[in-house]
Structure 1
Amino acid sequence: MLLRRISPLLSGLQIPNRLAARMPGSCPQACVAWASSCLYSKDTSSSGSGANSRNSTSCQRWAYTTTGALLGLGSILLYRSREQKLAEDNQESASGSHMVPPSSSDLKSSVPRSYPVYTLKEVQHHRTLADGIWVTLGKDVFDITEFVDLHPGGNRILLAAGGSLEPFWAMYGVHNQKHVIEILSAYKIGELSPEEQAAGPADLSDPYAQDPPRHPALKVNSMKPFNAEPPAEMLTEAYITPNAFFFKRNHLPVPRLDPASYRLEVGGRMGSPSLFLSLEELKTHFPRHEVMATLQCAGNRRSEMNAVKPVKGLDWGIAAIGNAKWAGAQLRDVLVAAGYKEGEAGALHVQFEGLDRDLAGTGYGASIPYHIAMSSDHDVLLVYEMNGEELPLDHGFPLRVIVPGVVGARNVKWLGRILVSTEESQSHWQQNDYKGFSPSVDWDTVDFSVSPAIQELPVQSAITDPQPGTLVAGEDGKITVKGYAWSGGGREVVRVDVSLDGGSTWHVANLTGEKQTPGRAWAWKLWTLTTPLPAERTELEILCKAVDSSYNVQPDTVAPIWNLRGVLSNAWHRVCVSVMKD
């Protein structure tokens, strides 16, 4: 891997002053070598202790961010060749009207740096790897040729080649973070001419401008794309989660689709023509089915893994989960109408393609096994209603797929195309995301091809009331604890155990929820425990753990299930509170 080749070079690297100034501490040279050993060795899974642990944490504040560690080290490595290129450019432009930048030795002075001046036309000539990849951001010009291979989004960055980064950076809010701006600044080679600067930035539309309004009570984890969860205590106020408070998990801008012109494409059998269905045809030509099902994001409770060691992903709390009544046509009926049958030769997977797209035209995609799609016992629906209402924009209007018992990532929204195939979806989100790994795997050793894509989720439970850190006052000497519990694959939650003393003693909670068919228990159970407060205790460590119908039980701690993407977080949930004394 590239990082494996880069790491041995770091120890002998002399860092230019302008990059060294951005590093923490008084010894940036040592920090780079330190970061290399912290982040890219096979020992990153060990937590360390004492001074070593503190040193590692200090180093990682600089280097271990979602993309900064990877890209920052690459930026430093490539700096020298870039400075050499600057010197060559300066010699070429010395006879012209361009400003001549100082030599590399001048970087040590406090005198502000001057750069060559370029026109947009000159930038546009640099659109290929052979000519160099130049881009602009604001008034600045950057040569990112050497950065293309390090870009975490792959070669999509080439879409901006010879032009502005603005419309592409607008797609993901992470680009506005300080460490990303600093990484880019190391690639600066010049500035736009004053005339073109005066003209101001191009009139570029925000790809998220058409996103729908959201309830202000939601806890926002990212704005672009929009991802948010409700206050945890609201989850157990009702068995069905109201649409406005159902967690929002978007990967791209919300598309605005015209229901009158909308058509769902279903790939035809054995090369036959595709079947195209309007929303009205889906509603009138196929029986309407309802299913009560819980959806959970793969990253639910990721914040607890982040507390053990930083992971890549949104910092979800315990509320990236919700329960709803979904209505629509059975996927099985639609596939039969397209000519498919159970046991179809060569039919191993059903791929779903969404109509939410990035500026490169790439849409969200995922797939599920064919036998699940065709089984009448799995209740897979093409949904156009949620809780008795038209499907909301954030939840996939006009049509989405609901695969009960399966991770939310496979429940594709704004569904545009269905394809039966011998292979899984080749989408990034099926092949290179939403997979689980050993705690020993880091970003230098990860191989996404060796792990299966997450489908069914493990047994889960969490405490929604009381909230962590609150002061509780028992009524009549008693305390009430509330929460939710759910398991994937249609396995029913049969018991929830609750402890008020850190696991020394346990109580069985009361479960509430609709009666469900064995093997098709798609919806969660809400649970409540009212019990006497432990005598003489001023602090309580409340724990919960659920057991499903296969007697699967949650693991007791997070560390043994930690993984670099922070998915499948289902350890015992822990809430510490103080007790109000009379």
Structure 2
Amino acid sequence: MTRQLGNYAKLVKGGRYLSSNQGIFRQNGFGAILNNHCQKNEADFRSALLIRSHHSGNWEKKSSYFGIFGVVIAGAIGGTLLYTSKVYSAEKVNDKGGERRLDLRNIRINEVRKHNSKENGIWVMYKQGVYDITKFVDKHPGGDKVLLAAGGELEPFWDMYTIHKNQHTLDWLESYRIGNLHPEDVKERQKRPVVKPDDPFGYEPTRHPALRTNSSRPFTAEPPFELLADNFVTPAELFFVRNHLGVPNVDVNKFKLEIQGKGVKKPITLSLDDLKKNFKHHTITSAVQCAGNRRAELSEYKPVKGVSWGIAAISNATWTGVKLSDVLTSAGVSADDDSVQHIHLTGLDNDTKNFYEASIPAAQALDGNKDVLLAWDMNGKPLTPDHGYPLRCVVPGTIGARQVKWLYKVTVSDEESKSHWQQNDYKQFNPTIDWGTLDYKKAVPIQEYPVQSAICEPKPNTVVDDDEITLKGYAYSGGGRGILRVDVSIDGGKTWQEAELENIKRPVYKQWAWTLWETTIEIPQDLQGKKFQVLCKATDTAHNTQPEFTSSVWNVRGLINNAWHRVGVSHQQS
């Protein structure tokens, strides 16, 4: 069964749906998406997106659209659900929480860091305050997701999910106060990263502490698996990061985009303001997935080389910009010109010798229906440094390596880019080829991603003590193919249950966003008290289905792992 966001939304708590006579709502984990009274189109869906709260259950209005119709308010501790038709207004908060208190001792940050588990106690920091929330963890409405902040700071999480900043929550937090952060550590936290102009990695930005770093130079990181399916639109702070080189330092006032090459009547140079003023703006919701997503699972079968991605090298965002097809057409480029075969996209990230570059088929770039964007906004705000500020090429339905960040040059050509990343990387080989027999010249660069799905909850090794288990995850297919179905099994694939789907209603073959899914399955008697695996597999609108085993998709570069996803759990009888 598919739930089209744009018709209604649901509120799920413990795998069950709650509704009122005004609408149906859904909440899970960190927060919720509300789309009641919405029209059946993507624009209204975007205007209705809400940040979801894992702690208070409250709803934060992101658009005046919902002020007319009301909001859902859930009690922070009691979990009572209320519905109101009143116009929402932000609560005035007297935020004196975290201010230094003379009656409390100073605590060094190293001591706070040690208290990062239930065994050692859960301490957190807010501004200059230190708090012991160990006794609250089991009462937390969002489950153990609060542990992501254990031994660290609350601000990065509360800056994303600002509904926490209400008077009740701030007063509650102060009741767990045990001390002040040592003044020397306060000064150290306030220091800005040191800029090193001569270092290719000298302009790296500060990242969210929840990101799980896979490599630091270049920086690659993914969000915690358990947070991935909490938001249909991934917060920019939690969007996975795949940098191939250092983050460039770009002065937007001097930034220029160059359009050149075959079929271009006259090379043109455009500032960001030129793009915004001279071309029609478009906004799409589109997922980006690294071709190496789920590589770690392939390594479990047989070692591969590359970033050891888990299941979270994929994220979903709304992007605003202008269509590349419009810009190319304005430069005189025509799809009827036989010399126009490939579009090279060059970024400002470089190693002093080579700039990052990839290419896509010209037929795709020149087709306005393919929605290839030169984007400057992500989730309604300017791109962040890690995601391509000030300009990125968003190529829906295509692997992330082709969606070039920090874009500064577009070249029309009769051949593919000769760059390393187009010719000697991001190519797939059959399972028998190893490094000794590898020949990149015989392989075709990957463009579209095949059908994919993964389980975000439960986490591996979760112990279930109920008679049912709730599973949540994502599904996606490249080329604009939507998700027809996600099947889930807890008995090794003997029987399957179809999951509920959340997606945007879009034309066939223009479904660029991912699909979130969820289902609750009763644990049969023969599995109770035992270890077992939960499985998922997706089928897209072209009826492509994920293959069963990683052995059948294994390749030496560890790319395009879309085998059934498996998570081991165990049941503990009450």
TM range (shorter): 0.5 to 0.7
Amino acid in structure 1 at the alignment position of 2:404:
V
Counterpart of 1:214 (choices 191, 207, 220) is 207
Partner of 1:485: 475
CA contact (8 A) 1:462 1:484 kept: yes
What SS does structure 2 have at the residue aligned with 1:377? helix
- Stretches of structure 2 that go unaligned for 5 or more consecutive residues are 1-195
What SS does structure 1 have at the residue aligned with 2:416? coil
Partner of 1:351: 344
Is 1:534 the equivalent of 2:524? yes
Deviation at 1:270, TM superposition (A): 4.2
1:206 and 1:353 mapped to 2: Cα distance?
Answer: 21
Superposed counterparts of 1:124-135, under 5 Å: none
Deviation at 1:207, TM superposition (A): 2.4
2:335 and 2:513 mapped to 1: Cα distance?
Answer: 26
Partner of 1:417: 409
CA contact (8 A) 1:405 1:488 kept: yes
Deviation at 1:251, TM superposition (A): 0.5
Partner of 1:267: 260
Is 1:281 the equivalent of 2:246? no
CA contact (8 A) 1:269 1:339 kept: no
Counterpart of 1:245 (choices 231, 238, 242) is 238
Bigger Cα Rg: 1
Q: Which moved more, 1:229-238 or 1:337-346?
A: 337-346
Partner of 2:226: 233
Figure out how many residues of one structure are paired with residues of the other and give that number: 377
Is 1:497 the equivalent of 2:487? yes
What SS does structure 2 have at the residue aligned with 1:574? strand
Could you say what the CA RMSD is over the residues aligned between the two structures, in angstroms? 1.3
Partner of 2:329: 336
Partner of 1:511: 501
| Higher-strand-fraction structure | 2
2:337 and 2:404 mapped to 1: Cα distance?
Answer: 23
| Higher-helix-fraction structure | 1
Is 1:559 the equivalent of 2:551? yes
CA contact (8 A) 2:200 2:350 kept: no
Partner of 2:384: 392
Q: Describe the superposition over 1:187-232 as per-residue Cα deviations: whole angstroms up to 9, x where unpaired.
A: xxxxxxxxxxxxxxxx994321211110011110000000000001
Is 1:309 the equivalent of 2:302? yes
TM-score by length of 2: 0.65
Is 1:224 the equivalent of 2:214? no
Q: Describe the superposition over 1:283-307 as per-residue Cα deviations: whole angstroms up to 9, x where unpaired.
A: 1111110111010000000000111
Deviation at 1:479, TM superposition (A): 1.4
CA contact (8 A) 1:351 1:366 kept: yes
2:475 and 2:212 mapped to 1: Cα distance?
Answer: 21
CA contact (8 A) 1:349 1:367 kept: yes
Deviation at 1:498, TM superposition (A): 0.3
2:407 and 2:273 mapped to 1: Cα distance?
Answer: 15
CA contact (8 A) 1:268 1:275 kept: no
What SS does structure 1 have at the residue aligned with 2:435? coil
Q: Describe the superposition over 1:286-329 as per-residue Cα deviations: whole angstroms up to 9, x where unpaired.
A: 11101110100000000001111111101000000000000101
What SS does structure 1 have at the residue aligned with 2:484? strand
Is 1:405 the equivalent of 2:405? no
Deviation at 1:442, TM superposition (A): 1.1
CA separation of 1:260 and 1:515: change in aligned 2, threshold 3 A: same
Superposed counterparts of 1:148-163, under 5 Å: none
Superposed counterparts of 1:162-241, under 5 Å: 205-241=198-234
CA contact (8 A) 1:212 1:393 kept: yes
2:462 and 2:379 mapped to 1: Cα distance?
Answer: 33
1:462 and 1:488 mapped to 2: Cα distance?
Answer: 15
2:499 and 2:335 mapped to 1: Cα distance?
Answer: 42
Amino acid in structure 1 at the alignment position of 2:229:
T
1:270 and 1:302 mapped to 2: Cα distance?
Answer: 40
What percent identity do the matched residue pairs reach?
Answer: 50
Deviation at 1:235, TM superposition (A): 1.0
Deviation at 1:465, TM superposition (A): 0.2
1:460 and 1:484 mapped to 2: Cα distance?
Answer: 8
Partner of 1:113: none
Partner of 2:140: none
What SS does structure 2 have at the residue aligned with 1:233? helix
Counterpart of 1:549 (choices 528, 531, 541) is 541
